[in-house]
Amino acid sequence: KGDHSTYLNGVKKILSFVGTYVYENLKSNVINVIKPDGGFYLLPEFTNAKFSSSSEMCNDILNKTGVALLPGSDFGLDRKKMLARLSYTDFDGTNFLKNTLGSKKLDNADLKKYAPNIVDGVSKLKEWSNSL
């Protein structure tokens, strides 16, 4: 019961900002990704990854970076396409929301402070893709 618009707007603002950050920092000549328009997932394709399956690729990413992705084949996509499902929600949403609620525009300092795993994970993924 009651008005939840402040909460909902704050959560949407955070997820939109985090999604845009992940998108902007992953997109490259070797990672094809579409900018998110809601939700909290991306489906990057690693065009330079030469593995026998997306599952093998995700295992390599996990072992070399500590970043966990789900292979595209788990969602019915061609196992030979190097697609993975990436969730960008590895942060304490309650803390992030509590400390950024209001009209303040979010910036990268907020992300580094309240979602450091996102910043670190994106950096590791980018390094991994560039090292292939």
In degrees and rounded to multiples of 5, residue 96 shows phi and psi of -60, -50
Structure confidence at residue 1 (pLDDT): 85
Residues in CB range of 103: below 8 A, 6 or more apart: none
Among 36, 33, 38, 51, which Cα is nearest to 11's?
A: 38
87 vs 39: which has the higher pLDDT? 87
pLDDT band at residue 43 using 50, 70 and 90 as cut-offs: very high
- 38 pLDDT above the threshold of 90: no
Give strand pairing partners of 23: none
Q: For 60-112, write each residue's pLDDT tens digit.
A: 999 999 999 999 999 999 999 999 999 999 999 999 999 999 868 999 999 99
pLDDT band at residue 59 using 50, 70 and 90 as cut-offs: very high
Residue 39, both tokens? 């939700």
Residues 11, 41, 73: CA angle, nearest 5 degrees: 160
Q: Length of the chain, please? A: 132
